[in-house]
């Protein structure tokens, strides 16, 4: 079975209409999750916890989509950088 990792993270945005973080050093890493359901539950919890701050936003990154074993490696990956 393919592992489908998800990363939940968030922080304060410069403008609520855009996805630019105010301070990248303050990004809150909620955690890594083995499936979408558990990632969604973590995302929902953090989003509800910060609902009073319109500039706070949490995201789910589908890490399994970043690594497709069927696609050839990039030149950077092949040299070990």
Query: pLDDT tens, position by position, for the chain (81 residues)?
Result: 667 899 999 999 999 999 999 999 999 999 999 999 999 999 999 999 999 999 999 999 998 777 666 666 555 555 554
Q: How many helices (H) and strands (E) does the chain have?
A: 2, 3
- Asked if 34 and 16 touch (Cβ cutoff 8 Å), the reply is no
Domain boundary assignment for the chain: 6-78
Residue 76 is predicted with a pLDDT of 52
The answer to pTM > 0.85 is no
Identify the CATH assignment for 6-78 out of 3.30.70.2400, 2.40.50.100, 3.40.140.10, 3.40.350.10: 3.30.70.2400
């Amino acid at each position: 079975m393919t592992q489908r990792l998800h990363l939940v993270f968030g922080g304060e945005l410069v403008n609520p209409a855009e996805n630019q973080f105010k301070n990248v050093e303050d990004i809150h890493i909620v955690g890594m999750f083995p499936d979408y359901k558990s990632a969604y539950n973590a995302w929902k919890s953090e989003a509800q916890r910060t609902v009073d701050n319109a500039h706070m936003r949490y995201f789910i990154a589908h890490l399994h989509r970043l690594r497709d074993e069927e696609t050839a490696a990039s030149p950077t990956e092949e040299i070990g950088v």
